[in-house]
Amino acid sequence: MNFKKIKRAIISVSDKSNLNFILPTLKKYNVEIISSGGTFKKIKSMKYNCVELSKYTGFPEMLDGRVKSLHPKIYAGILNIKKNHSHQIDLKRKRIPNIDLIIVNLYPFEKKVNEKMKFEKLIEYIDIGGPTLLRAAAKNFNDTTVISSIDDYNKLAFEMKNNKGATSISFRKLMSAKAFASTGYYDAIITSLLNKNINIKFPEKKIIYGKLVKNLRYGENPHQKGYLYKSEDNLGLEKIYGKELSYNNYNDIFSGIEIINSFKKNYGVVIIKHANPCGVSADKNQFIAFKNSLICDPLSAFGGVVVINSAVKKKLAVELNKVFFEVIVSKGFSSDALKILKKRKNIRLINFGNSINLNNYNYNFVGNSFLAQDSNKILIKNKLKIVSRKKPSLKQLASLKFAFNVCKFVKSNAIVLANNQSTIGIGSGQPSRLDSCKIACDKALNFMPEKISDSVAASDAFFPFPDGVQELINAGVKCIIQPGGSINDKNVIKAVNESGAVMVFTGTRHFKH
């Protein structure tokens, strides 16, 4: 194997923890250490020999520390190919030693972004020398070792001890890949911030970045691998109790939180199954909201995920324990509620923060390409248009808006039946809108027949024919909200007027694929 002995190293780290994991090994193999600034002082304070970088290069730091390591003596030492005769002659003429190891972690730019630091001050946390050192060493992995994470100090120490102060080519390649990922991630955060500052949502070159949070047991199915990444420092979810979450659990949780985020503070309960809501209520009373969500489709709710927009209290915990749910997500749990809920062995209890923000952008990966779009934040773009002869009451208007809002989060074709501020039937994911109407009506008639006679219905897109509207009206629906825009709108409105029902056009479509 291609082993390279380490004789000289540059250490320049923003995070100075864990240096004690590698400095003893470097000392054991007589590695000369070069450093600057706070890292130099830290290494000296730990009683290890260290050469100050400005003395090594013969060139002092300048521009308030913006220029430290950008010097030919440094980069020629890193980038030379040891088997290249011409390179070695150049080094000899200029009396430049080889540099075999670079240990660098970068200024905490992401941390400062998350701290909401002012844009002008953030600029000073854009690292220049660090990424340049990492990229130079990573490029020359055949001869140079690069370490970009404090988590890899132990691995480097183990590698050197196993190889008598040297590193293998396989180790250097792995560390090179990690270093390029580190600088790429860093640059992506900076790019994202700059684009956001000048309000460019979809630039010519789009970078999607993320940090691995954990390996999941599997993906959507057992034969698929699954992983969780985050693109912000705080994921916003805290597991209080239970076994690890699966890929599908996370998918359902994020779907439920997205709906909850569309409600007022502390209002609402959502039950999710396969990323589709099967019951939604916007009532402020969490017990009533849960009961209304559950009764919408208790069969589908079995084994689902419940998202509650407030802290779970004892009374609700007792009710939750009567049904098998895989995950309960809320803004906290009282001590009494925890005691009750922990009686179920297979439950997962998750706390989600008030600041969690999902889906500013949506991506759909298809082979080597991906589609990108804004997230669907608008409910009704323009004023509502009442197109029927009969007008809706204020209470009916509120119910229509609630049902239309739920439609945003239901897979198309979506039909949502609601009574007051709770769903009573949901038809989703059908190629035919008529089929979605039939499913929504069947569920309402099966589980809450007493509420369908004074219910409203929402459709995520226009009705191409009167048949879907007639299906809803025949079941007992009194008011319907839809975008409008079909060539058959006149026939649809005629059917509504003949039945004495109400129809409202929004002019805003809400497909979800």
What is the pLDDT confidence band of residue 354, given thresholds at 50, 70 and 90? Answer: low
Domain boundary among the residues 352, 376, 406 is at 352
Q: Which of 173, 211, 230, 274 is catalytic?
A: 274
DSSP string over 130-151 = HHHHHHHHHHTTTT-EEE--GG
Mean pLDDT is lowest, of 200-214, 276-290, 397-411, 477-491, for: 200-214
- Write the CB contacts of 22 (distance below 8 Å, at least 6 apart in sequence): 103, 147, 153, 154, 156, 157
Tokens of 333: 């749990």
Shared domain check, 33 and 179: yes
Quote the mean pLDDT of the chain.
91
Q: Distance between CA 274 and CA 473 in Å, rounded?
A: 29
3-state secondary structure of 312: strand
Region of poorest pLDDT, from 159-168, 201-210, 225-234: 225-234
Residues 348 and 389 in one domain: no
Neighbour-count burial of 284, counting CB atoms closer than 10 A to its CB (0-12 exposed, 13-18 middle, 19+ buried): middle
Bond before 321 cis per omega within 30 degrees: no
Question: Could you tell me if 457 and 463 are in contact, meaning their C-beta atoms sit under 8 angstroms apart?
Answer: no
Q: Is residue 327 a contact partner of residue 271, using CB atoms and an 8 Å limit? A: no
* 43-90 tens-digit pLDDT: 999 999 999 888 888 777 767 667 777 788 888 899 888 888 989 888
As given in the structure block, the two tokens for residue 58 are 């013969």
In a shared domain, residues 317 and 402: no
Q: Are residues 167 and 244 in the same domain?
A: no
428 with 496, same domain: the answer is yes
Q: Is the domain of 326 the same as that of 258?
A: yes
Q: pLDDT tier at 270 (50, 70, 90 boundaries)?
A: very high
Same domain, 175 and 74: yes
Residue 337 is part of a domain; what is its CATH number?
Answer: 3.40.140.20
Q: Both 166 and 43 in a single domain? A: yes
Residue 161 banded pLDDT, cuts 50, 70, 90? very high
41 in a domain, yes or no? yes
Q: How confident is the model over 234-263, as a mean pLDDT? A: 91
User: For the chain, what's the residue count?
Assistant: 513
Do 65 and 186 lie in one domain? The reply is yes
Q: Is residue 372 included in any domain, yes or no? A: no
Of 7, 44, 139, 291, which residue is the catalytic one?
139
Helix (H, G, I), strand (E, B) or coil at 11: strand
Q: Among 219, 182, 191, which residue's Cα sits nearest to residue 103?
A: 182
* pLDDT score of 110: 80
Q: Give the range of the structural domain holding residue 270, as residue numbers without chain letter.
A: 237-352
The verdict on residue 365 lying in a domain is no
Reading the block at residue 369, the tokens are: 């390409």
Here the CATH number for the domain that contains residue 44 is: 3.40.50.1380
Q: Is residue 227 a part of any domain in this protein?
A: no
Domain finish residue from 307, 337, 352 = 352
Active site residue 139: yes
pLDDT reported for residue 65: 67
Q: Per the domain annotation, does 169 fall within a domain?
A: yes
Tell me if residue 381 is catalytic: no
Q: How many domains does the chain have?
A: 3
| Residue 121: predicted pLDDT | 82
Question: Rounded to 10 degrees, what is the CA torsion of 11, 13, 19, 22?
Answer: -40
Q: Are 94 and 107 in contact (CB under 8 A)?
A: no
| d(C-alpha 89, C-alpha 82), whole Å | 10
pLDDT band at 282 (very low <50, low <70, confident <90, very high): very high
* Residues 174, 263 share a domain: no
pLDDT, mean of residues 199-208? 88
Instruction: Return the structure tokens found at 378.
Output: 């608008």
Predicted pLDDT at 359: 62
Q: How far apart are the first and last CA of the chain?
A: 51
Which residue in 79, 83, 114 sits closest to 96, CA to CA?
Answer: 79
The whole-number pLDDT of residue 358 equals 66
> What does the alpha-carbon distance between residue 157 and residue 24 come to, in Å, rounded to a whole number?
9
Q: Is residue 78 part of a domain?
A: yes
Q: Considering the entire predicted model, what is its pTM?
A: 0.85
In this structure, are 40 and 107 located in the same domain?
A: yes
